[in-house]
Amino acid sequence: MFKDTLLSILERHELYISRCIQLALQGTYAAMPNPSVGAVVVHNDRIIGEGFTSPYGGPHAEPNAIASVKNQELLKESTLYVSLEPCSHFGKTPPCCDLVIEKQIPKVVIGTVDPFAKVCGRGIQKMRDAGVEVIVGVLEKECQESNKRFFTFHNKKRPYIILKWAESQDGFIAPITRDTHRPFWISNTYSKQLVHKWRSEEMAFLVGTQTVLSDNPSLTTRDWYGDSPIRVFLDRSGKIDHTFCIKDKTVKTICITADQSLVSTENLVYEYADFTNNLLQQILDILYKHNIMSIVIEGGTQTLQSFINAKLWDEARIFTGETILGNGIAAPVLTEFDNAVKHRILDNELRIVYPK
């Protein structure tokens, strides 16, 4: 009784959907390119089962939550809360909405509709047709935010774009010239390790031609656990030869070029683009074709600035180191952004900002 007066029905829905979001966030990176979803089974205002999406190819959140309920008979009197609409298609696993119907769960509360064309309302309809009471749209924005990569990919037909660079105290990303073909490090080793963690999390990393020529980057995950991302680089006129690390074929790599004489081999894919006409849209179409849901643009300035100028970015992660360079290659200039969070990593500052 006391609980009833304390929490309205809507507040209770929001409470359980926020728990779904918490659960979903535990599966984000392993589930990609699938969304990560959280599900909670509630009986008489008590959580009796929970689950989130297994690593890619494994069971979805709903079967995991349903399987965790000890007394399966209680499912017939329970409500299933889920952050994303239960699927209605046969993918790597059978449709989750069929399982809800089979288990005779009478009520389902959904955070948001699935933007994926094969589902997109069909899961809701199928359950309603079978007599399940379905409520849709609880903490909708938060549920979409919890799967921001997936929603960007399906709604905008492009990956979620993260800009990332390190700049000196006085706003440079590198000296003008240097003797070695190695990166000039501005951020510290802990920041570098964090970037390797990001490499294990996001699906791809992209660099411009000059960055490959100056730094000979590997773009691999060496200082963190997990797989390396897909590497993407620009090479309009075929300047990057096979001596560069990025062409060592150890990791799937996509070279975007105008040179049609270049022929793809295993792990090194050439994609052709017209560099004189709306290059960025062509890059995004190529990434979409390769099912790349998230990408980090690593630099350099010219490449980053072209994404900024085209307003094609979703997040920027900017390190500022202690170094003062005096002169050099100026860092990209961001306009119209909201400052979100600042972190200290010893003598580095990491700023994460979002477009306005």
Ligand X SMILES: NC(=O)C1=CN([C@@H]2O[C@H](COP(=O)(O)OP(=O)(O)OC[C@H]3O[C@@H](n4cnc5c(N)ncnc54)[C@H](OP(=O)(O)O)[C@@H]3O)[C@@H](O)[C@H]2O)C=CC1
Ligand Y SMILES: Nc1c(N[C@@H]2O[C@H](COP(=O)(O)O)[C@@H](O)[C@H]2O)[nH]c(=O)[nH]c1=O
Q: How many CA atoms lie within 13 A of 310 on its CB side?
A: 17
Written as one string, the DSSP assignment of 70-110 is S-GGGGGG-EEEEEEPPP-S-SSS--HHHHHHHTT--EEEE
Preceding amide of 159 cis, omega within 30 = no
Bridge partners (DSSP) of residue 39 are 51, 82
Rounded distance, CA 12 to CA 10, Å? 5
Q: Considering only 61-69, 112-120, 124-132, 300-308, which stretch makes contact with ligand X by CB under 6 A?
A: 300-308
Nearest C-alpha neighbor of 66 from the set 52, 45, 87? 52
Q: How far is the CB of 161 from ligand X (least distance, A)?
A: 14
Minimum CB distance to ligand X, residue 239 (Å) = 6
Task: Give yes or no for residue 66 binding Zn ion (CB under 5 A).
Answer: no
Work out what residue 236 binds among ligand X, Zn ion, ligand Y, none; the CB cut-off runs from 5 to 8 Å by kind: ligand X
Closest CA to 66 of 43, 35, 44, 89: 43
Amino acid at 153: F
Q: Which does 185 bind (CB under 5 to 8 A by kind): ligand Y, ligand X, Zn ion, none?
A: ligand Y
CB distance 66 to 181 below 8 Å? no
Amino acid type, 317: R
Q: Is 304 labeled as ligand-binding?
A: yes
Q: Which residues pair with 295 in a beta bridge?
A: 161, 204
Candidate list 62, 85, 202, 315, residue with the active-site label: 62
Q: Is 150 in the site for ligand Y (CB under 6 A)?
A: no
User: Residue 145 annotated as binding?
Assistant: no
219 touches, from Zn ion, ligand Y, ligand X, none (C-beta below 5 to 8 Å by class): ligand Y
Q: Please select the residue that binds ligand X; options are 35, 95, 111, 208, rule is CB under 6 A.
A: 208
Residue 84 binds ligand Y, judged by CB under 6 A: no
Residues counted in the chain: 356
Write the Ramachandran bin of 136: left for phi over 0, alpha for psi from -120 to 50, otherwise beta: beta
CB 74 within 8 A of CB 48: yes
Please select the residue that binds ligand X; options are 300, 312, 320, 350, rule is CB under 6 A: 300
Q: To which residue do tokens 């909201």 refer?
A: 338
Which residue, 65 or 283, is less far from Zn ion as judged by CB?
65
Which residues in 21-60 contact Zn ion (CB under 5 A)?
Answer: 60
CA distance 60 to 24: 11
For position 87 contacting Zn ion by CB under 5 A, the verdict is: yes
**CA-closest candidate to residue 29, choices 229, 216, 206:** 229
Nearer to ligand X, 89 or 197 (CB): 197
Tell me which residues in 205-264 interact with ligand Y (CB under 6 A).
207, 211, 215, 217-220
Indicate whether 307 belongs to the interface with ligand Y (CB under 6 A).
Answer: no
- Catalytic residue check, 85: no
- Give CA separation, 304 vs 75, 161, 162, in Å: 51, 11, 10
Asked whether position 96 contacts Zn ion by CB under 5 A, the answer is: yes
Q: Exactly one of 201, 235, 298, 314 binds ligand Y (CB under 6 A); which one?
A: 298
Positions that interact with ligand X (CB under 6 A): 165-166, 173-174, 183-184, 186, 207-211, 214-215, 234, 236-237, 275, 279, 298-303, 306, 329
- Residues at the annotated binding site for NADP(+)? 166, 185, 199, 211, 215, 300-306
Positions that interact with ligand Y (CB under 6 A): 166, 183-187, 191-192, 195, 207, 211, 215, 217-220, 298-299, 319
- Residues at the annotated binding site for Zn(2+)? 60, 87, 96
What are the residue numbers of the active site? 62
- Residues at the annotated binding site for substrate? 219, 222, 298
